Amino acid sequence: MDNRELFVEMQQSIVNYDEAEAIRLAKMTLEKGIDPALAINEGFAKGIQIVGNMFGKDEIYLPELVMSADAMTAATDILGEAIKKSGGKAKYLAKGIAGTVKGDIHVIGINLVATFLVANGFDIEFLGVDIPSSVFVEKARELKADIILLSALLTTTMPSQKEVIDDLKEAGIRENVKVIVGGAPVSQDWADKIGADGYGQNASAAVDVAKKLLGI
């Protein structure tokens, strides 16, 4: 079987919310020496994209969406571990915090972003999901973070990214830290509008933007 067929099977495993199959294919990726990032981007992520569109059109409902997300998480957990290890012995380039903003529990994307950054030598503390602005600000101060990565997957939670930026200003530490925003509904325009330092469309872009902003 060539890689393209495998990627289609990965997609299908997510669309069919078949967690066992997603795990089998993730393990096969590593056994065959296929680039795990490629398997995520060309395989599993395309599946969850299809599922998202079906959900948007009422072709499936929340229980199916949850099961597909579980299959996706199981696969990306396995591949993410391999991506982290591929970074070798960490020589930390910069310190950062990452999380999904208040009111939003989508974790798969920001988890990948944090994983890619760790694999590329960043020391990232992953705060989790539904994180209040005040926690981002406190953690940034406490850890003397160089970067903050804010994820929002819902149009209704995008304003919480702005709230963090405003609260950093209010706390007098806005100049000490670069803020990078992302998530499916987020764009460069939005980043500019709310005064973020950068925007990344995917996990690889997040690494490039972080390095560029920090001059690494």
How far is the C-alpha of 66 from the C-alpha of 16, rounded, in Å?
12
97 binds ligand B12 (CB under 6 A): no
Q: Tokens 């299908």 — which residue?
A: 12
Looking only at the bridges linking them, the beta strands covering 147-151 and 122-131 are unpaired
Contact segment (CB under 6 A) with ligand B12 among 13-21, 88-96, 108-116, 169-177 equals 108-116
69 binds ligand B12 (CB under 6 A): yes
* Residues near ligand B12 (CB under 6 A), total: 39
How far is the C-alpha of 23 from the C-alpha of 78, rounded, in Å?
8
How far is the C-alpha of 175 from the C-alpha of 192, rounded, in Å?
16
**Residues 115-144, mask of contacts with ligand B12 (x by CB under 6 A):** ------------------------------
Instruction: Compare residues 6 and 45 and give the one whose CB is closer to ligand B12.
Output: 45
Instruction: Compare residues 89 and 145 and give the one whose CB is closer to ligand B12.
Output: 145
Query: What does the chain come to in residues?
Result: 216
Q: Tokens 């509008």 — which residue?
A: 193
153 binds ligand B12 (CB under 6 A): yes
CB-based contact 15:68 (threshold 8 Å): yes
How far is the C-alpha of 201 from the C-alpha of 216, rounded, in Å?
20
109 binds ligand B12 (CB under 6 A): yes
Instruction: Compare residues 2 and 189 and give the one whose CB is closer to ligand B12.
Output: 189
96 binds ligand B12 (CB under 6 A): no
- Rg of the chain, C-alpha, whole Å: 17
52 binds ligand B12 (CB under 6 A): yes
Least CB distance to ligand B12 at residue 209 (A): 6
Residue 108: which residues within 8 A CB-CB, separation 6 or more?
48, 69, 72, 73, 76
The residues binding ligand B12 (CB under 6 A) are 45, 48-49, 51-52, 55-56, 62, 65-66, 69, 73, 103-110, 112-113, 149-151, 153-156, 180-185, 200, 202-203, 206
